[in-house]
Amino acid sequence: MSTIAFLNIGMHGHINPTLPVVAELVRRGHAVTYHTSPAFSKEIEATGATVRLYPGGDPSLPDPPMPLTLLEGLARTAVGLLPAVLSDLQEIRPDLIVHDSTCPWGAVAARELDVPAASLFTMFAFNRHVPSPGRASWELLAAAATRRSDVRGYLRSRWGLYRRYDTRGLPLLDLLNVRQPLNLVFTSRAFQPGADEFDQSYRFVGPSLGARPPDPSFPADRLRAPVLYASLGTVFNAGPQMLRDFATALAPLGGTVIISTGQTDPAALGPLPGNVIARRFVPQPEVLARAALFVTHGGMNSANEALHAGVPMVVVPQGADQPLVARRVVDLGAGLSVRTQDADAERVNALARRLLDEPRFLAAAEGLRVAQREAGGYLRAADELERYLHRPGSATRADSHQER
């Protein structure tokens, strides 16, 4: 069997889809190591992989997590982590390096050590037809004009990478889109915008959803149809007023309304209607399996999970790739979208009512449910990595995959 090293950034949306893949590779007899930050150690250890911690604890998320600050943070983190990462990998001697598409130190390490590499896209795949949030754009240039310290930090770190390491194949700017000869995209071709514009190095393997331990504290026996669910994720924090508006909007339409409050204390929402359950964290796949509607920020994992369950969405995008996800959901007829500043109780109620009353939304979501499941998920991802390991010339460099 082979030794496979995973490297990732410390964000739930990027770590979670990899866990079922890692567990499956371990089950098949591969030795898997996973470079990560301490906050994710327990979840990764549970897969059977060996955890290798990045030095310095948990790197802080750029605030705000906008494209420019993320690019600066990724370049700076790469410079800081590479000496320790390279030392670890020289000891491990992996046959394959698997890194997130936003993890430039994984790509640089693979080139430095002459090890074949694969990239994981937990967001959409991006190219010239589907621009990533980190590609040069008017929005990015406007941000650069007002955040010159971030620009200077990025240039300093990017120059440091160039001087010390072999960075061929690494995008000059778009470090959110680091590609390899094999790129696994965790969604279906049906949901990916412009899927036909991507070459055969991209494999659309669908959502990676493994079994999760049940949450005995969640009152599943209290759920009454129709179940309506609202969650805005963990990166962009939703305040009490917005969450209260969601509860007010959905309560008249649902048998049970579930509000995931994330970093907000549920008590801060004040008194809620009797059919509303507000909790910091919710077993999302379990809830979506019973939900008739999902109010979401449009994070890629949440959208994938909703479509895997065939649930129409009201998308309230807040940043990063979420506006692109929202547009795709609307374009495919599987939901509706509203800007954050317009998402008051009256507006959300009207959109939710449309999703529940007009059968076309459920039909579109059901069609995507079939596509998401047929893509293969974590089992296909593990198959693709094994085929890549054993194909002739798997160590071929990614020179042809430089930013186009």
Q: Which CATH number is 220-374 given?
A: 3.40.50.2000
Question: In which band, very low, low, confident or very high, does the pLDDT at 171 lie, cut at 50, 70 and 90?
Answer: confident
Comparing 108-117, 213-222, 362-371, the range with the smallest average pLDDT is: 213-222
3-206+376-401 is a CATH 3.40.50.2000 domain = yes
| Structure tokens that stand for 201 in this block | 């190095």
| Structure tokens that stand for 338 in this block | 């509203």
Nearest residue to 254 (alpha-carbon basis) of 318, 319, 176, 348: 348
- For 273, residues 6+ apart whose C-beta sits below 8 A from its C-beta are 247, 248, 251, 257
Contact in structure between 385 and 24 (CB atoms under 8 Å):
no
Q: β-strands 31-36, 50-53: how paired?
A: parallel
Question: ∠ at Cα 163 (159, 166), nearest 5°?
Answer: 110
**How many residues would you count in the chain?**
404
Tell me if domain 3-206+376-401 and domain 220-374 are identical in fold: yes
pLDDT tens by residue, 253-276:
999 999 999 889 999 999 999 999
pLDDT tens by residue, 121-139:
999 998 887 877 666 554 5
For the chain, give every domain's residue range.
3-206+376-401, 220-374
Tally of CB atoms within 10 A around 217: 8
* Percentage of residues of the chain with pLDDT beyond 70: 89
Rounded average pLDDT over 90-109:
96
The more confidently predicted of residues 357 and 62 is 357
Q: What DSSP letter does each residue of 73-131 carry, written as one string?
A: HHHHHHHHHHHHHHHHHHHH--SEEEEETT-HHHHHHHHHHT--EEEEESS----SSS-
pLDDT tens by residue, 35-70:
988 989 999 999 999 999 998 776 665 555 566 677
Q: Is the peptide bond before 64 cis (omega within 30 degrees of 0)?
A: yes
Contact in structure between 104 and 75 (CB atoms under 8 Å):
yes
